[in-house]
Structure 1
């Protein structure tokens, strides 16, 4: 009896295994059949959106659902395989009833050849509505007419449209050699918000009338960008090699915008008066605003490249890249409707050559150790001829140079320690050498006190990761780097041979001569390489460019993955970083400009399988960044950006799998605060001592008023239901509801829109609610 029972149990187990093997085999056969003869599908339907174009401005910015109330829905995916030849044919269309449509077709024989063609469109509708008296908005010859009352003009909604066509071809020449070629042509048309502003200098405009104005001038867009990429791919057991050519060609049908401008502009009290007239040899405000505005010129770029990787042994590999590129721009100034340029010069004749070389190496010298090394060289050579532009009275300067050399390298080692720990240590080096002006006649850089010809940043990082159990993994990392650089190139105009730069009276001239002798060796200061302490000696409130100044960066990151059950997974991330400006500063004036940045990020992601048919996903995150600015005009700003995000999603099956439902709700909130505070200023004359002066009453009062917050909040709800009529057909219903609020005081504050000097206004509904319902029929074949 005992033996019989054992045989019975074994028989039942064997039967169960046999049944499972049959179902598994059947399932595997279905998967194989799906790969060999995949199903095609088509979806047809309609969607309806609530509200009007203004209440859908945020929702419909890119998806093509802003202007109309009803939209057609059409998608298809066709796949077929010719069993005799092994040739695949694919055709796919997405969003064909919308202005964000995509369409593609391809045929291929795997391992032999492939060709493809695709087409796509994308409309961008600008969020804000323009109310203006302008005629010809979005053309090259707009006419600016002053509106007596803001809001009494015509509404204009700007948009741009991209239409792209692509062609692709692949051919296997031999088992180890493949040729690929791709071509893309993108047409872009429409108009976008643009403009010009000018504040008269005394050398340009006389007193009497408005001396400053800002006008809206929508940029007309009618351009074509063509791109070509052709390459050969070669491989052996150890070598993978790719070499090819990439070309980019940009053509703009418009060279410039020449506006007609009525000589009437708003002054501070919003009263329209004539613009300031010209002084002798100068230009009136109205004529300045009428001068042609240059649009992006035609240009092209060509690149030859080779990259690949080589396997020395199963534990040692190398990768490399080498490329040479040349970009040129030779549009005629006169042909673009601009000035003729310097004598004998009809175009910029711009040329920039770029040489890039990179090599990397990875190895596992011993079982527990892995090593990575990488080096990169990137040189940009500006071959553009230097000519004297901006000729006006006695002032002429050469065009700017952009030559630079970047070198970066890293070395990283990871070692597997006992107790399932892995330690990683890395070293990083980055340097950049850039072109800076050497003389005032070469280039006059305004608004800055100094530039730096070279920066170097060295850093190290360490990480420790642990597999604490089969369900918990985690890591902690720390990164530290410091940036320093060469001496600074002075942009001070102090020149002992030019009395105009020394001051209006004997005392100022004597003080400035003392500065020149003390810090500039008795010579003109502009273009000299001097230490940062000397720059501060020349200008106590000097603000060094934030991407050139000495700085220190630190970052700590914690991460963890936890799977408490087979159905639940959680991921956690926490980051804290800090960057501090280390530039020297005057002890009385204090450091000016950017002083530092603090950032924090926290996030959690979760996935839960309630059953085999029902699943939940969720995430939450918070980011917080503060930039500390000490402005030279007597105030400080702690510019804070805080953003929160959260989402909850679900998907499940009802009615024995005939009815699929799903959806998610997402929340996004982004708030910018300006944190203004008045600060002290200084009195005294360098090189003598400075004394601190309490903040002015005006600055204290303004800081107390502050600036409004800039806030964006959005809630999205997406729900769908899909009912299977049979194995081939289904009906799907989608519901989308979005609630958004955008408060940007720069464009509108307390219900009052921003007004340009001609009373053109730009406005948008701050609170927008949209509901979209879509019904579609899906058929598989």
Structure 2
């Protein structure tokens, strides 16, 4: 098998050898073989500057400076009906960085071999100009430069994946399956380090003044060089009324890079652009190594089965056990500050799962389904004193998690075209006993147990001559046990009445996933054909969540509305029109610290129209036009207890500006048939993107890091793409 080798000597297998094998497979063929094959070859052209193409090139597989690219793809399929042997091969995007190859070869009812190879390139849409040296390594050196005077950087990650699979039918009742996949990922992605002084966790760390910089945000790309291996095996047994399966799944993640340690300069820019010496306390914190994703592995073993009790009733079950570990060495990755005698996390999590379900039809018009699922995740990670704050010492926290879910649903056929559904569900979550030697930050209190009950009702009209539809309603309520106040290394205290005076919860912060919640959701579906040439499909979803937590802060309500419609209209036998439109809104209302209240609203609209048809017997033409707009707004208000400075700032700034993403795409395409086996095609696409995001710039001023790195994204981007392709097919 051929391979790709890097300068370091690491080689990755490819499927080129398999492709050649598939292409020259006729050695085993006979006159009665069925052959279906095709080849697509052509050339493409793309315009636009590097800034114009930032969004387009995110997943295009093209280099940012590439204006001409090749197009090549192939499909090959051969089947021998006498022997039952078939082979198939697929190849696409050979001349880009997103190439894919796949092979299928086997004998029907006996064995099957599958192999695949794929690549995927992702490029960062934000362009960076920086003085950093060694970007993409584990030891970059920060070099402060005046904004815009550094070097341009393109951050990108590339994935290369190889998969192999084999299936063998051992007997009429037993089948064996084995598959594996390995993926290598390398490159660099956006990341950084930062800290603001003074801080309780930074001794000797003082703030910014006229003589020094006490806070900073630095551009430090994360280097990537990792492999993920997966193995899966299964034996299946099938009798007349019994199905059994035993399976294993293994996941192995290996990262060659364990930590990122930036080299700091003596001076950095303060928020107004003045170069000042870095405070000693800040330098000590920013210079610490940053942990990268550690090596880990997981082993999953399961037993599944189904039993056909009679023609109308089936019982199924699943038993599984998962062991996940993380024991990557601290010392091996440069972390010398750690508890005495501790060289790794000792991560050890065991998960046990049991599930049983049934499906039955006790009478002709009634069917009932249900299941119960129990999952217990036992966190056995070693406890060590990792966190030290002055004289206080805290350990890490174990996170056990036990869930029990039950679901019951009944369907009743009232009439040939009317069916009703009633459903009930229950979910219980037990987060285990809080680790007494640990501490929490960022939240005021926790909950050990939450309970949620779900009810669902649906009425559906089956397809008649011209209309079908459904209406459904979902209602759920979640509550839980008493809130638990953290005592900073001395366990927790249960608070029976969180709203009572003296608890301190009135200005507390509580996780919305633990808060009481009431959810309502209504959905309408319709499929209508008012005339033979026209078909309409539509859906409307409306939902609202109400949260109840102690105090005035946190998430209070959330809502969503979504409407979609699709249509197909046949103008003539040769010409068709298709169209779609969707509109959606999501909103969150929450109270925030310092007497601020935020209402987040996200509106999205998406419309499109397409026309396809035949101008002559040999000429096919088409047009697609689409428009997408996504707008997020942040309405902010203050209550009467807000400080004068906060009120003045909000009045002067107007609060956070909106973020808008808009994309318009025009696609024109045509095909001219040369003969029954070949044709030529042309496609022209125009992309216009507008992305106004204040995170990277506002009112023409780009975001600048403390080292002078500038991150920019051109607000309006335009790209034109032309593809010319020749296709030949044979049988």
TM-score by length of 2: 0.91
Asked if the contact 2:242/2:305 (under 8 Å) is kept, the reply is: yes
Match of 1:554 in 2: 520
1:375-386 mapped onto 2 (5 Å cutoff): 375-386=372-383
* CA distance, structure 2, for counterparts of residue 468 and residue 132 of structure 1: 62
* C-alpha deviation, 1:488, in angstroms: 0.9
Residue deviations 1:317-338, cap 9 Å, x none?
2222221111111111000111
Q: 2:719 maps to what in 1?
A: 770
The CA distance in 2 between the partners of 1:219 and 1:697, in whole Å, is: 38
Select the residue among 253, 258, 280 that pairs with 1:255: 258
Q: Indicate yes or no: 2:591 matched with 1:630.
A: yes
Q: With structure 1 as the length reference, what TM-score do the two structures score?
A: 0.86
Match of 1:323 in 2: 320
Aligned-pair CA distance for 1:84: 4.2
Q: In structure 1, the residue corresponding to 2:530 is in which secondary structure?
A: coil
CA apart distance, 1:86: 2.1
3-state DSSP of counterpart to 1:287: helix
State the match for 2:404 in structure 1: 407
Report deviation, 1:607: 1.5
Cα deviations across residues 99-143 of structure 1 (Å, max 9, x unaligned)?
111011221101011112211000001101111111001100100
> What is the match of residue 675 of structure 1?
635
- Which residue does the alignment assign to 1:475? 470
Deviation at 1:526, TM superposition (A): 4.3
Aligned residues: 691
Matched, 1:205 2:166: no
Change (3 A) 1:539 1:392: closer
Correspondence list, 1:189-204, <5 A: 189-200=186-197, 201=199, 203-204=203-204
> Which is worse superposed, 662-671 or 261-270?
261-270
Which of 622, 625, 632 is residue 662 of structure 1 equivalent to? 622
Alignment partner of 2:503: what SS? helix
Instruction: Indicate if the aligned counterparts of 1:144 and 1:259 stay in contact, CA closer than 8 A.
Output: yes
Question: Could you list the per-position Cα deviations for residues 3-35 of structure 1 after superposition, in whole angstroms to 9, with x for gaps in the alignment?
Answer: xxxxxxxxxxxxxxxxxxxxxxxxxxxxxxxx9
Q: Distance in 2 between matches of 1:107 and 1:268?
A: 63
* Mapping for residues 568-587 of structure 1, pairs under 5 Å: 568-585=534-551
Structure 1 residue 405: deviation in Å? 0.6
2:288 to 288, 291, 295: 291
- Aligned counterpart in structure 2 of residue 457 of structure 1, from 435, 452, 460: 452
Q: 1:468 to 1:291 in 2, by over 3 A?
A: closer
Matched, 1:445 2:448: no
1:502 is matched with: none
Alignment of 1:259-408 (within 5 A): 259-277=262-280, 284-391=281-388, 393-408=390-405
User: Is the counterpart of residue 708 in structure 1 residue 657 in structure 2?
Assistant: yes
Question: Residue 94 of structure 1 contacts residue 103 of structure 1 at CA under 8 Å; is this kept in 2?
Answer: yes
Range that drifts further, 81-90 or 198-207: 198-207
CA distance change for structure 1 residues 575 and 84 in 2, over 3 Å: closer, same or farther?
closer
Q: Once the 2 structures are TM-superposed, how far is the Cα of residue 353 of structure 1 from its aligned partner?
A: 1.1
Superposition deviation, residue 650 in structure 1: 2.6
Q: Report how far residue 419 of structure 1 moved.
A: 7.7
Q: What is the alpha-carbon root mean square deviation over aligned residues?
A: 2.0
Q: Distance in 2 between matches of 1:163 and 1:224?
A: 10
**Which residue number in structure 2 is paired with residue 92 of structure 1?**
90
Structure 2: give runs of 5+ residues left out of the alignment. Answer: 1-31
* SS at 1:563 equivalent: strand
Other structure's SS at 1:268 match: coil
Query: Which stretch of the first structure deviates more once superposed, 631-640 or 535-544?
Result: 535-544
Do the aligned partners of residues 576 and 350 (structure 1) sit closer, same or farther apart at CA in structure 2, a change above 3 Å counting? same
Deviation at 1:610, TM superposition (A): 2.6
Name the stretch that deviates more: 85-94 or 646-655: 646-655
Contact 1:226 1:248 in 2 (8 A): yes
Indicate if the aligned counterparts of 1:678 and 1:695 stay in contact, CA closer than 8 A.
Answer: no
Matches of 2:645 and 2:329, distance apart in 1: 53
Deviation at 1:362, TM superposition (A): 1.2
- Shift of the alpha carbon at 1:703? 5.1
Distance 1:759 1:72 in 2: 39
Which of 219, 224, 227 lines up with 1:224 in the alignment?
Answer: 227
CA distance in 1, matches of 2:687, 2:492: 56
Contact 2:600–2:632, Cα closer than 8 Å, also in 1: yes
Tell me the secondary structure at the aligned position of residue 623 of structure 2.
Answer: strand
Choose between structure 1 and 2: higher strand proportion.
2
Q: Give structure 1 stretches of 5+ with no counterpart.
A: 1-34, 278-283, 496-523, 586-590, 682-693
Post-superposition offset of 1:255: 0.8
Task: Determine which structure has more spread, i.e. the larger CA radius of gyration.
Answer: 1
Residue number among 173, 176, 186 corresponding to 2:173 in the alignment: 176
SS in 1 for 2:412: strand
Q: Report the Cα distance in structure 2 between the residues aligned to 1:654 and 1:310, rounded to whole angstroms.
A: 57
Provide runs of 4+ in structure 1 moved above 6 Å. none
Provide the C-alpha distance between the structure 2 equivalents of 1:753 and 1:239, rounded to a whole number of angstroms.
Answer: 65
| 3-state secondary structure, aligned to 1:448 | coil
Give 3-state SS (helix, strand or coil) of 1:746's partner.
Answer: coil
CA separation of 1:638 and 1:298: change in aligned 2, threshold 3 A: same
Work out the CA distance in 1 between the residues paired with 2:566 and 2:459.
22
Secondary structure of 1:464's counterpart equals strand
Which residues in structure 2 correspond to 1:71-90 (within 5 Å)? 71-90=69-88
* 1:614 counterpart = 2:575: yes
In structure 1, what is the Cα distance between the partners aligned to 2:640 and 2:315?
A: 57
Query: Which of residues 523, 542, 548 in structure 1 aligns to 2:508?
Result: 542
